[in-house]
Amino acid sequence: MTSEVQQLLTTGVALTDETLERLLPAPTVEPHSIHRAMRHSMFAGGKRLRPILCMEAARMVAGTGTLPQGAVELGCSIEMVHTYSLIHDDLPALDNDDLRRGKPTCHVAFGEAIAILAGDALQTLAFQTISQLPAPGATLVEIIREFSFAIGTGVGPVPGSDLPGDLPPGMIGGQVMDIESEGVKPTAELVERIHRAKTGALITTSIVCGGLLGLGHCLASGHKLACTEEDAIARLRTFGESAGLAFQIVDDILDVTQSSEQLGKTAGKDTASDKATWPAVYGLERARKDAASLIADAFAALEPFGKSATPLKSLAQYLVDRTH
Amino acid sequence: MTSEVQQLLTTGVALTDETLERLLPAPTVEPHSIHRAMRHSMFAGGKRLRPILCMEAARMVAGTGTLPQGAVELGCSIEMVHTYSLIHDDLPALDNDDLRRGKPTCHVAFGEAIAILAGDALQTLAFQTISQLPAPGATLVEIIREFSFAIGTGVGPVPGSDLPGDLPPGMIGGQVMDIESEGVKPTAELVERIHRAKTGALITTSIVCGGLLGLGHCLASGHKLACTEEDAIARLRTFGESAGLAFQIVDDILDVTQSSEQLGKTAGKDTASDKATWPAVYGLERARKDAASLIADAFAALEPFGKSATPLKSLAQYLVDRTH
C-alpha cells in the first residue's frame, strides 16, 4: 500500500468516526439498548471504504480540492446502511454469524429483537441524515432517489419517472438471490448477478451519490467540469460497478486463501456452504486476472478527470491489493 | 358509522390499493420470493387508515376540495412503513405472531429470512416513493425529514438543524420500550409514552406529511390558508397526536372486550402477557372517557379550518367508535 492511500484511509476513517459519533444518538439517550446496539455495530472497526469512496468522488467532482460540505455526513449515511445490512445478514435466520470483525455480532450482544430493530433504525437514520444535508432540495431528492434504488430490491421506477426502466437488482435483491442460491450449483451468470447486487450496488451508489453532491458544489463554485454532468455521473457509475465487482472477487479469493485470524471472521465459510463465489466458478487464477482487468476498466472510466482522479484510482487499486 | 365516513373509507381503500398495486414490484419480477412476500403483507386486508388520514389532511390544507397530486402515493409510502413494522413485529424474536388480520404472518408464509428482508425493502421503497412524488424538492425533503424522525428511535436532530431538539420517541423507539416493558408492572406514564411512540408517531406523521404536501398545492393555487403555514402544521400535529393516542386506547379496550374472531387476531394477548395497556392502568371506564376526551381535543385543534375539517373529524370519530 502506498503512503498516499494509507493517508487517505487514515484521514477518512477518522473523519467518518468522529462524524458518526455526532450523528448517532448517544448511548445515554432513551431507549438505551437500541442506541447501544446501533453504536456497537457502527463502531466495530469497519474499514469505512464506502464513506471514503463517497467523499473522494464528491471531492473530485466538486473540483476545488477540498471536501464539499456534507460529503462526510453523506458517507456516514451510506455506512449506516452498510451496517444495517450486516446486522440483518448476521441474524440466525440468515447467515447465523456470531462474529463480525472479531467482535460478537449485534444479536449475540443485544438479542435478536434489538438487533432487528437496530438495523431498521439505522436504515431510517441514513435517510434522515441525507434529508438534513446542507445542499439544495433538488440535489438531496436526487441523492435519495439514487440511493433508495441501489439498496432496495432494485426494480425499475414507477411510471412517469425519468429514471431508466431496467435497473439492475439492488442490495436487498442481491441478498435474496444469495440466500436462494445456497445448495444450488453456482453458474457464472448467477455469481456475477449476485455480486453486482449484494455488494456492488452499495459501493457504486456511494460513488454516484458523492458525485451528485459534488456536482452542486462544482456548479456553485464556477469550477469547470471535465465533461458534461450526465457523463460525469455515468463515468462514476462505471467506475463504481467495476471496482465494486473487483472488490467482491477479491473478498471471495481471500476467503479461500486466508485464515480466519487474518480475516477477523470465519474463513472458508463460503466454500463450506457451496456459496456462489468467483473462484468456485472460475478457479483462483482466473479470479485474480478478472479482478485486475476490472480495475483497468475502472481506471479507464475516470480518464477525463486527469490527475484529480488519482485518489479514487489509488483506492480502487488498494481494494484489489488488500490482504484482509 | 355514518354513510359519509363509510364513503371516505371505501374510496380511500380503493385508491390506496390500486396505487399500491402500481408501486409494488410485480410478483413476476426477480427475485420473486421477496416481491411476493411484500405483496402478501401489503394486501392482507389493512384498513388503510394512515393513507386515508394522509390524503384527507392533504386535501384539507390544499383547500381546493380535490386530492393534491401525489397525496395517494405519499399515503402508500406511509402504509409501506406501517406494514414493514408489522412484519418485523410479528417475527418469532419479537411478538411471535402466526396470524395477522386472519392470515398467516409474513414469516409463516415465506420464512424468517425473507420476512426480515421484505420488511427492510418496504422501508426502502417508502423513501424511494416519496423521492419520486410530483412536488418541489424542498417540499419532498421536508416530508422525508419529518417522516424519518417519526419512524426512527426519535432522537433530536443533528446540530445546525432547524428542527426542535427535544422530539418525542419515534415508532422504533416505541417498539423497543414496549419490548422492554414486558414483565414490568406498567405505570401510567410509561404506557402513554409507549402508545404515543409505537402507534401515535406514525399516525401523527401521516397527517403532518399530508399537510406538508397540501401546503405546496395551497400556495401554488393561490388558495388562502385559514391560518399561518406554521400554525396549520402545528394544529395537524396536535390533531394527530390526540387522535393517535385515542386510537391506541380503543385498540387496548377492544383487546379486552372483543373475541379473537371479531378482531382477526389473538384477543386477550395483551392482558395475558401483562403488556402496558390503558385499561390495565386505568380500568375500562376511565379508558373510554379518556378516548372521548382526546377526540374532543383533536376536534378543537382543527377549529380554524371550519367545514373543510369535516372529513378528518369524521375519521377521528370513527377511530374511537369502531368495534374491531
Q: How many pairs of residues across A and B have Cβ atoms under 8 Å apart?
A: 171
Contact A180 B140 (CB under 8 A): no
Q: Which residues contact A167 (CB under 8 A, 6 or more apart)?
A: A149, A154, A155, A156, A157
What's the gap in Å between the CA of B99 and the closest CA on chain A? 19
Provide the pLDDT for residue A160. Answer: 45
The pLDDT of residue B217 is: 87
B103 phi and psi, to 5 degrees? -115, 155
pTM score: 0.94
Of the candidates A114, A141, A172, the beta carbon closest to that of B124 is on A172
The three three-digit cell numbers of residue B131, written as one number: 423521492
Partners of residue A117 in chain B, C-beta under 8 Å: 88, 172, 175-176
Residue B236 predicted with pLDDT over 70: yes
Cβ contact B120–A123 (<8 Å): yes
Residue A259: band (very low, low, confident or very high) from pLDDT cuts 50, 70, 90: low
Output the pLDDT for position B254.
94
A221 near A64, Cβ under 8 Å?
Answer: yes
pLDDT in tens, A203-234: 999 999 999 999 988 888 888 888 899 999 99
d(CA B214, CA B64): 10
Query: Who wins on pLDDT, A268 or B130?
Result: B130
Supply A101's cell numbers: 470483525
Angle, alpha carbons B202-B203-B209 (nearest 5°)? 80
**CB–CB contact B155 A91 (8 Å):** no
Among B33, B116, B121, select the one facing A93 at the smallest CB separation.
B116
Rg (CA), chain B: 19
- Contact flag A137-B132 (C-beta cutoff 8 Å): no
> What's the whole-number average pLDDT of chain A?
91
The Cα-based distances of B281 to A202, B189, B275 in angstroms read 47, 10, 10
pLDDT of A159 above 50: no
Q: Has residue A101 got a pLDDT over 90?
A: no
Q: Do A129 and B169 touch (CB under 8 A)?
A: no
The yes-or-no verdict on residue B89 having pLDDT over 90 is yes
Chain B residues whose CB is inside 8 A of the A138 CB are 137
pLDDT per position as a tens digit, B21-40:
999 999 988 899 999 999 99
Among partner residues B125, B140, B179, which is closest to A137 by beta-carbon distance?
B140
Task: Render pLDDT for B159-207 as a digit per residue (tens, 0 to 9).
Answer: 444 444 456 789 999 999 999 888 888 899 999 999 999 999 999 999 9
| Residue A233 to residues A46, A143, A207, A237, B93, Cα–Cα distance (Å) | 27, 12, 9, 6, 42
For residue B128, the distance in angstroms to the closest alpha carbon of chain A comes to 5
Task: Kindly determine whether residue A120 and residue B94, on different chains, have CB atoms separated by under 8 Å.
Answer: no
Q: How confident is the model at residue B275 (pLDDT cuts 50, 70, 90)?
A: confident
pLDDT confidence bin for A182, thresholds 50/70/90: confident
Strands in chain B per DSSP E: 99-100, 103-104
Q: Taking CA atoms, what residue in B is nearest to A112?
A: B93
- Residue ranges and CATH numbers for the domains of chain A are 3-321 (1.10.600.10)
Provide the pLDDT for residue B202: 97
pLDDT for the residue A276:
81
Would the pLDDT of A37 be above 50?
A: yes
Q: A88 vs B117: CB contact, 8 Å cut-off?
A: yes
* Residue B157: predicted pLDDT: 47
The answer on pLDDT for B13 being more than 80 is yes
The predicted model gives B59-80 an average pLDDT of 96
ipTM score for this prediction:
0.94
